[in-house]
Each structure stands twice: as structure tokens, then as C-alpha cells.
Homo-oligomer: A and B are copies of this chain.
Amino acid sequence: MTEGIDHRLRGRWAPHGAHQDKLPARSLRWLSTRIGASEVASPGTEGEPGEPSPTTLPTAAQADLTEILGHERLTTDPAARLGRAGGLSYLDLLHQRGFGELAVPDAIALPSDAEQVQRVLECCVRHDIAVVPFGGGTSVVGGVSALRGGKAAVLALDLVGLDQLHSVDPVSRLAVFGAGTRALAAERMLRAHGLTLGHVPQSAERASIGGFAATRSAGQASSGYGRFEDMVAGLRLATPRGPWRLGVAPASAAGPDLRALALGSEGTLGVLTEVTLRVRPLPTVERYEGFVLDGWTRGQEAVRALAQAGCLAEVTRLSDSDETNVSFALRGGMRTAALRGYLRARGVREPNLLVLGWHAGSRAELARRRAVTLGVLRRFRPVRLGTAAGEAWRRGRFGGPRQRDVLLDAGVCVETLETAGFWSGLDRLRDAVRTALRTELTGHGRAPLIMCHISHAYETGASLYFTVLVPRAHGDELGQWQRAKAAACAAIAGWSDPDVGEPLGTITHHHAVGTDHAPYLEAEIGALGVDVLRQLKHTLDPTGILNPGKLLPDA
């Protein structure tokens, strides 16, 4: 392979100066006690997945694809294929460690522009080859699994070559990006214009603009910058029926908003090639600070009050006491004891950490907005922890995926899941998910640690994000989590309580459907909704080559 094209094997998260790659030994010991294992297991015997099966890409297809892309931009190299085999869910990580079956694409196409993407799709239609659009590969719901959907071969269509900032319109505050542009690269390019997108999910180091749009991502600062779909002014897709452009105005009443079909389509209806995004001036002042509220109810009410008063900080994030206590404990030593004493002295029995992160154009703006927010917050009697607690969160904000690898090495099953619901049903939703997880994961000496936070708040409701830690069930690694996840999803879908005819929340607030949530989609959008999606797919992708097995339960 020639230089300049990135065929690298994706593996673990690269070390990053600012982030904590390893949990200290004392933290591991503490966690071990906390989740009820006499000791957390030492790293297992698992290693790497084996060599993938030989490619089944037909020779004629390979020749045609090579003619479109050149030799450089098509590869069947085993390492490159393994590198695009799946995403980053706990099950994916287990697959990469040799558990279960790893679905590996037969070849990787790395087109350099939208026209090549279009031609690759048309070629794959002719040869009836499945196509998995591939951005940063950070899906945690099976969204980039190399499923072939009954086709003879499956191609991973890696969009990393579409990584340009095509244009900036500073007057309209719009920027047009190639869909393969990585989030941090996009921010670097915008910074040169004094602009920012402000979309910073935990996957930001790797995830792509196209991936964000295809999955309806929400970033950690969504309370200020909006969900990714709110930022999308226009889109270009390559589809088996030809290129498609959408979005000509800031708002429209010209029929249903078809951009909403591309957003969240997860590569099943077309391949995003270009995204026009609303951008904002780079903030000149940032401030992250922590508060503690006593009890989940009061914490949740405080976030609701901020959301309904329209004075959320860009980052607004409330951890329940389980999550708060873990984050305090992992600080370790004297600092934790002192903090607990400080909070007890102020009457806090169940500390719920609230992190507020402000981005502003000036100190005056920050002061003004912050005063309004603290004014609303006051009646919930917050205990201020100052900027140290806020900065601690900010430093660790991308650390989750790295700590997950470390915990996996130490024999811990660690995974997250998320949902959202309206405020009046949020407690019921949270209780249902926690009960389902606890019931499923308890036993055999194991007691799961279930943490929860709100990271995205709206006037009408909020997201709930759960992090689960439990000792791995040796010999049943995959089944352990599959059953727990299924129980949680059934609870969200409203199936665990016969008196409930409707979902308690959405099956996913910002992780998309992929393969993992597909069985629960019908509960949310109805059989008619599923049929609408199916017919829509048939219209745009008549032979069903696009990302088979994702989004639709039976596609």
C-alpha cells in the first residue's frame, strides 16, 4: 500500500497527554471491593482475534472498484479489514479479544471525494455487494458491524478521504465539511476562522461529521450548542438512486423536512458525503465548576428548573450519588475524606455532583449568564465545589473509553447505555432501568455498580446515561451483558410492566439504533413507522446493499 492512505488497524484508544490512561492500583482495589468481587480478576487469557477468513470480494467487482478508486484506495489487507470490523461497544471489544464471531469486511474502499463514493455505490449495486459506511468507527450499538445481509461480500466504505472544510460562510455562520472529517480536525480548521462547531461527544477524538449526522449524535455541550441534528443546515448524500442534496434555507415549510430522514438513517438510506453546519464564534472565556445537590430528586429538579428557565450552561451534567461517590472515591486519599466531611457539615447526605461548563464571548457575558443560572439554582441549596471539581471533570471528559480498556483488562464488565424521557416520567424510567440491570447482573457473588447521570436537558425532559460495572462472568462474557442490555431495553420499551402500554422513554437518546436497538424500534415508532422506514429504504436502496442489518429489525 502506498503512503498517505490510512489503512491503519484501529485498536485501542491512543494515549493522550491530558487523559488518564490507567486507573491507579488503589482505584482498581476500591472498585473491586465496591462491585462485590473478592478481587478483580487479573487480565484474562484473551488476546487478539484470529486471522480473518479470506476475502470473498468477487474478482470482477475488485477490478471495477480498482478502476474507480485506483490501487491505493482499495485494499483487502487482513489488518485493514480487521481494523474496520465493528465499533467500540463492550461486545465489540470482547469480539476483538477473541470472544465470539467477529464480522470482518471483505475489502476496504477509501474514496477521495463524493463522486468516487457515488461510483462505488453504483458499482456495488451492479455486483450486489453490501456496503458499510465507515467514519470514525466509534459506534457502540453495532452500527458499523460488517454484516453482509445475504450478499456475497461486504465492503467497508471508509470516508476518511472526505476530510475537507469545503467552504465557510462567516455571514451566515455556515461551514461545509466532507463527511469523513473528524470532529477535532473540524474544530482545528474552524479555529482558523475564529469559529467552532461546539460538538464534543466523548467520541470526539475519532468520530466523524458524517457519523454524527447519521446517528443523531449529541455532544457534551449540547445544552449550549444543541444536538448535532440542530446544527445541520444541509446535506449531500450518495445513494444507489443517485446523488441527493437537501437544505436550501435556515427554515422551511416546503413539505416534510427530508433532512430528518437522512439524519439518523445510519447509512441505510445513503452515504453522507457533505454536511453543511451552523457554526459559532469561538468562545473566549470558559469556566467549569462543580456543585453538590443533596439527593437525586433535588438535583433533577434543579436541572429541570435551569432547562425550563432557559439558562442552562453549555455543559450541564448531573451525576447521581452512585456516580458522584465513585468519582469522589477515585480522587482517593485525604481529598475524598475531607470532601465528605465538608459536605456532611453542610447537611448533604446523598451528594449529586452538578457540573456546569460555560462558554462565552466575554467575561461580562459569562458573569451575566452565570448570575442568572446561579439565581435559579439557589433555591435547590447547592454546595459550591468551585472550579477544581469542574476542571477535574473536563480533564477526564474523554477518559471513559480508555478506562474501559483498563477495566476490561482487569476482568471488569463495563458498559454504558442511555435513554431519555419526559420530566414527569424520568424517575420511573430511571428506576425501571436500574432494577432491570440490577436484577439481571446480581448473583454469583456479583453486585453491579450502576451509575447514572443527566447530560442533556430539555424543557420537556432529559437524557439518562447509565454506566454499569460488574465482575465479568467468566465463560459467559457475551451472554452476561447481552441479557442485561436486553432487560434494560425491555424496561425502556415498557415491556417489563404489564400496566404500561407505551415506552417509558426512547430506546436511545444519542447512540443510534444499529443492530443492538433494532428489536425495540417498533415499540417506539409503531409497526407503521417500521414499515415507513422499510419502504423508504426500498425507494432509495432498492437492492438493499446499504448497511444491512442496521436500524431495521429485518433489513
Contact = CB atoms under 8 A, between A and B. Distances in A.
Contacts of A258: 525, 529, 532-533
Given A218-B251, A246-B525, A248-B503, 12 more contacts: A216-B252, A218-B253, A227-B251, A249-B503, A251-B463, A253-B510, A254-B507, A255-B265, A255-B513, A280-B459, A535-B535, A536-B536
B460 A254 contact: no
Interface string A508-529: 1111110001000100111011
19 contacts: A174-B422, A174-B460, A239-B528, A245-B526, A248-B421, A249-B419, A250-B462, A251-B420, A251-B456, A251-B458, A252-B507, A252-B524, A254-B508, A256-B264, A257-B263, A257-B264, A258-B529, A259-B260, A280-B459
Given A461-B172, A532-B540, A249 B218 contact: no
Interface string A527-543: 01101110110111000
Interface in A225-265: 227, 229, 233, 239, 241-242, 244-246, 248-265
**Which 4 A-B pairs give the minimum distances between C-beta atoms?**
A260-B260, A250-B461, A249-B506, A252-B506
A245, A261, A463 — which one has the most chain B CB atoms within 10 A of its CB?
A261
A106 interface: no
Contacts of A460: 172-174, 233, 250, 278
Contacts of A459: 173, 250, 278, 280
A262 B308 CA distance: 26
Contacts of A517: 254
A254 B521 CA distance: 7
A310 to B, nearest CB: 9
A316 interface: no
A368 B370 CA distance: 13
B423 A172 contact: yes
A520 to B, nearest CB: 8
Interface string A448-489: 000000001011111100000000000000000000000000
A368 B266 CA distance: 43
B248 A256 contact: no
A248 B492 CA distance: 11
B246 A529 contact: yes
Interface string A385-411: 000000000000000000000000000
A263 B171 CA distance: 29
B260 A509 contact: no
A2 interface: no
A490 B261 CA distance: 27
A169, A257, A513 — which one has the most chain B CB atoms within 10 A of its CB?
A257
A505 interface: yes
A261 B531 CA distance: 13
Contacts of A419: 249
A525 B234 CA distance: 11
Contact of A533 (B255, B304, B422, B462): B255
Given A278-B460, A507-B254, A532 B249 contact: no
A542 B540 CA distance: 19
Chain A interface: which size bin?
35 or more
A497 to B, nearest CB: 15
A12 to B, nearest CB: 25
A308 B170 CA distance: 11
Given A246-B529, A248-B502, A249-B421, A260 B257 contact: yes
Interface string A489-503: 000000000000011
Nearest to A249: B506
A383 B504 CA distance: 53
A249 B422 contact: yes
A262 B227 CA distance: 21
A294 to B, nearest CB: 20
Contacts of A506: 248-249, 251-254
A215 interface: yes
B524 A173 contact: no
B250 A422 contact: yes
A511 B539 CA distance: 28
A217 interface: yes
Contacts of A280: 459
B529 A244 contact: yes
A23 interface: no
A5 interface: no
A315 interface: no
A372 interface: yes
Nearest to A458: B250
Given A252-B508, A532-B261, A526 B246 contact: yes
A59 interface: no
A253 to B, nearest CB: 4
A456 to B, nearest CB: 7
A56 to B, nearest CB: 30
Contacts of A239: 528
A255 B256 CA distance: 16
Contacts of A253: 215-218, 264, 506, 508-513
